[in-house]
Amino acid sequence: VGANGRAPGSAATFSGRGVNVKSGLLLYAKPDITAPGVNIRIPGNKEKTVTGTSFATPMVTGAAAMLMEWGIVKGNDQYMYGEKLKAYLINGATRVGNVWPDSARGWGELCVAASIPAK
């Protein structure tokens, strides 16, 4: 999981990139997806904000939990497993730019609403 930058559609400067250094080719898109990770307000402290992929990752974890509830608990996809869950998140990601996956944002920015298929 990468972190979105401050500007819309950007990746945070500290977030990892997924280009193969030797060939310059994008062999495996990493990060898979990005989520908010800059100036995140933390519970119990109205003044303090935190930054990092360590705060973007829990956003994706929460989204995964919501998708599992939708799929397994509510009976929309009884066979929700890791790779399928990842596919839902990637398919619902908001694409940024013209080429994806890209080395900074992967398949795009987390969008839970778009990750849940319409019936």
Q: Is the model more confident about 23 or about 69?
A: 69
The whole-chain average pLDDT of the chain stands at 87
- The mean pLDDT of 61-85, rounded to a whole number, is 94
Q: Domain 2-110, what architecture?
A: 3-Layer(aba) Sandwich (3.40)
Confidence bin at 19 (pLDDT 50/70/90):
low
- pLDDT of 47 higher than 60: yes
Q: Note the pTM of the prediction, 2 decimals.
A: 0.83
Q: In 10 A of CB 65, how many CB atoms? A: 11
SS (H, E, C) 28-96: CCCCCCEEECCCEECCCCCCCEECCHHHHHHHHHHHHHHHHHHHHHCCCCCCCCHHHHHHHHHHHCECC
Domain boundaries, the chain: 2-110
Q: Which residues pair with 35 in a beta bridge?
A: 3
pLDDT at 43: 82
